A and B are shown apart, each in its own frame.
Chain A
């Protein structure tokens, strides 16, 4: 079967005198290296210049909060189960009264840790998450000189309300359309639910 037309018949022939001299070949090589001397380097000077990355680049994770600032994660553990590198661990806790503005549902992750040395940035955690709580962002995980620093807890993972992450580029148009439907429980914040309950009592 012929796959390409790049086939080349190799003949091991005696070298001619010119070839045996090596000098023409060496000069040819030197011309090539001299040409490269004046070519534009391919180097990207990293910390100052950042290479262009894809819209769906998978970098450091973020644990999302909802619009009221409550953590979306309910410590269901599906991300940890989905993780092929076993990088995610968590401890669940029950929400106390008065913490409704902090945690979106009755259960939350008291401890949530991702070992960035184990993580392979495959994105299966965000795919597994039913609560839209974990997403990968375009941030590059900074290096560290010890292993302890590379285990990221909630202090580094949970998003800051002053500086939120737009993750809409990581979601399909169907999902984005579904999220606009506020009658679905998934899209209601705790405040929305309270208002709905009040409305229901009135009727």
Chain B
């Protein structure tokens, strides 16, 4: 029992630290990727290649004066960024980071908790994340913040439907809502992307909208809304909002990779497994998965520095008139195919 508790606590701590570390270095990566895509060099002053830049940024955020507007609701004003950060970090628990490590008589799966409705859990927590933005925007008592918050909530609600419908088609194929099950099914065979290309595309587009990344970053649209929902925020509370975005990006990249691109499974896994020890295999799987997730984050940045943001009516058109019908069609096509192939 003690071993179990220690193992869970250690795993939670590791995932927590990795999420924060990756998010911190995503800010650095974002600036570097942006710079290279624009033929610049990006931050290169703090430490070698500017590697200490996230630390400097974090320190700056902590040192800044903390301003709480006198007309704001102070409790909600503090609750907003806390919720955003909390929900961003909560989703990491259901993602399988590797198969399992064996020490002595104990087997430790590299997944904090394997709940059988993992996908639904991620959904509910992610949709809870919109409250962080909504509460923050409302509590600021500022019209731009409120507009940003309104945009964020309507955008997230619209795209959640398409996202959920894309998942339905996937679940029809896998027959399970558990992450470890979905990932394990992809080991040694084709990844889910092959079976669900359209669903994958819809899911990725919706993931961009859910994380408020370009081309769907209308809630913080600087050109129209000053800073969007975090206009009134300063110091580390602003930092939490910005940081939560990067944590979200990391987690959603991990979710995309787990659901559609084979998760931690290595290519030719059975061949490798017959040659190396189980623990080393788990480590290799973790590294491979991590590399995939980092590529996912790079993909998010790549898109951000390539395309401009949508106009709000275009955003709504895309969500309601294109993605939702498409995902319903996807469900239908999946069902018909499965019936035709005799899988039902």
Q: Which residues of A contact B (CB under 8 A)?
A: 26, 29-30, 32-34, 36-37, 39-43, 45
Contacts and interface: CB of A to CB of B under 8 A. Distances in A.
Nearest to B303: A30
Given A26-B307, A33-B302, A42 B40 contact: yes
Contacts of A32: 306
A33 B307 CA distance: 10
13 contacts: A26-B303, A30-B302, A30-B303, A32-B306, A33-B37, A33-B306, A34-B302, A37-B36, A39-B39, A41-B35, A42-B39, A42-B40, A45-B41
Contact of A41 (B33, B36, B305): B36
Nearest to B310: A22
Nearest to A37: B36
A41 B36 CA distance: 7
Interface string B291-333: 0000000000011011100000000000000000000000000
Contacts of B37: 33, 36-37
B303 A41 contact: no
A26 B39 contact: no
A186 B40 CA distance: 51
B44 interface: yes
B303 A36 contact: no
B38 interface: yes
Interface of B: 33, 35-41, 44, 302-303, 305-307
Contacts of B44: 45
Contacts of A29: 306-307
Task: List 10 tightest A-B contacts by C-beta distance, closest first.
Answer: A43-B41, A29-B306, A33-B306, A33-B37, A41-B41, A37-B36, A42-B39, A36-B37, A30-B306, A41-B39
Contacts of A30: 302-303, 306
Given A37-B36, A41-B41, 20 more contacts: A26-B303, A26-B306, A26-B307, A29-B307, A30-B302, A32-B306, A33-B37, A33-B302, A34-B302, A36-B38, A36-B39, A37-B33, A37-B37, A40-B39, A41-B35, A41-B36, A41-B39, A41-B40, A42-B40, A43-B41
A37 B33 CA distance: 7
B199 to A, nearest CB: 15
Chain B at the A interface: SS class: loop
Nearest to A39: B39
A42 B303 CA distance: 22
A43 B36 contact: no
A39 B39 CA distance: 7
Select the residue from B38, B39, B40, B306 with max chain A CB neighbours within 10 A. B306
Nearest to B35: A41
B305 A33 contact: yes
B34 to A, nearest CB: 10
Contacts of A42: 39-40
Contacts of B305: 33
Contacts of A39: 39
A34 B302 CA distance: 8
Contacts of B38: 36
A109 to B, nearest CB: 41
A33 B301 CA distance: 11
B219 to A, nearest CB: 21
Nearest to B44: A45
Nearest to A30: B306
Contacts of B36: 36-37, 41
B123 to A, nearest CB: 25
A39 B35 CA distance: 11
A26 B306 CA distance: 8
A36 B302 CA distance: 11
Nearest to A28: B306
Contacts of B39: 36, 39-43
A173 to B, nearest CB: 41
B46 to A, nearest CB: 14
B323 to A, nearest CB: 12
A43 B32 CA distance: 13
A45 B44 CA distance: 9
Nearest to B314: A22
Contacts of A26: 303, 306-307
B216 to A, nearest CB: 13
Contacts of A40: 39
Q: Which of A30, A34, A37, A45 has the most CB of B within 10 A?
A: A37
Contacts of A33: 37, 302, 305-306
A175 B85 CA distance: 71
A152 B245 CA distance: 48
B206 to A, nearest CB: 15
A186 B44 CA distance: 53
Contacts of B41: 41, 43, 45
